[in-house]
Amino acid sequence: MTKVGVLGAKGKLGSVICEGIGASDDLELVARIGSQDTLDTLVEAGAEAVVDVTTPAAVMDNLRFCVEHGIHAVVGTTGFDDERLATLRGWLADAPGVGVLIAPNFSIGAILMMQLAAKAAPYFESVEIVELHHPTKADAPSGTAQRTAHLIAEARRAAGAGAVPDATETALDGARGAEVDGIRVHALRIRGLVAHQEVVLGGVGETLTIRHDSLDRASFTQGALAGLRAVSDHPGLTVGLEHVLGL
């Protein structure tokens, strides 16, 4: 049985993940770490792996501690750019056998949505992303939207697809959203929402919309558990839960 700690355990998502770990028969929750708790608790409790669902400001220090202490990490916290990923790879190079899995989304449905969008993208001239979240979300666009944009762009480049057409010459700042790897991403922050995303693709005479909705944070539990069960078999840095789901 794998001994697990949860960083951000007192938050809404962390609480749900703690419940999922507690209900599993192959994972043991040994540490619930909040912002006022010390990471040394992980070592004292014998944690072998952690789930980090904290904040972009805290996650790198958390991961450095885990890597230095030989603790695998499954990360649902967003805010990872190329510089942060390179830093992580450097730390992991000095810690053979330790695995860190960066998961832009823990929802199985969201992972499938991203894969389907990437598969469809080369067949359509136009593609844009709309992500919708609650107004207390700290980052925009979401990590899921950024990951989706990169997957779409990679698929289009591999297929030799051209740039997405856009004849806009004048616009208010932000009117066309953010540009991520050549793909436009629009972020909505609306009270009452949890986590939602749609990818809108268009060609001559037709459109295709691929949408995923997380209506409850419980939807993130199974992906987090799958990551915990697989991370020790994936030493080094892995980006994307699809790599441990066989997608």
Which entry of 133, 150, 196, 212 is annotated as an active-site residue?
Answer: 133
Neighbour-count burial for 227-242, b at 16+ CB within 10 Å, e otherwise: bbbbbeeeeebbbbbb
Q: How many angstroms separate the CA atoms of 120 and 104, rounded?
A: 20
* 99-102/72-75 β-pairing: parallel
Residue type, 127: V
DSSP string, 125-149: SEEEEEEEE-TT---SS-HHHHHHH
Angle subtended at Cα 46 by Cα 41 and Cα 50, rounded to the nearest 5 degrees: 75
Told to judge if 133 belongs to the known catalytic residues of this protein, a careful annotator would answer yes
Query: Are the beta carbons of 2 and 228 closer than 8 angstroms?
Result: yes
| Total H helices, total E strands in the chain | 8, 11
Which entry of 134, 137, 234, 243 is annotated as an active-site residue?
Answer: 137
DSSP letter assigned to residue 56: H
Told to judge if 137 belongs to the known catalytic residues of this protein, a careful annotator would answer yes
Among 127, 134, 193, smallest CA distance to 157 is for 127
Query: Are the beta carbons of 117 and 199 closer than 8 angstroms?
Result: yes
Among 106, 104, 100, smallest CA distance to 50 is for 100
Q: How many angstroms separate the CA atoms of 129 and 146, rounded?
A: 9
Active site residues: 133, 137
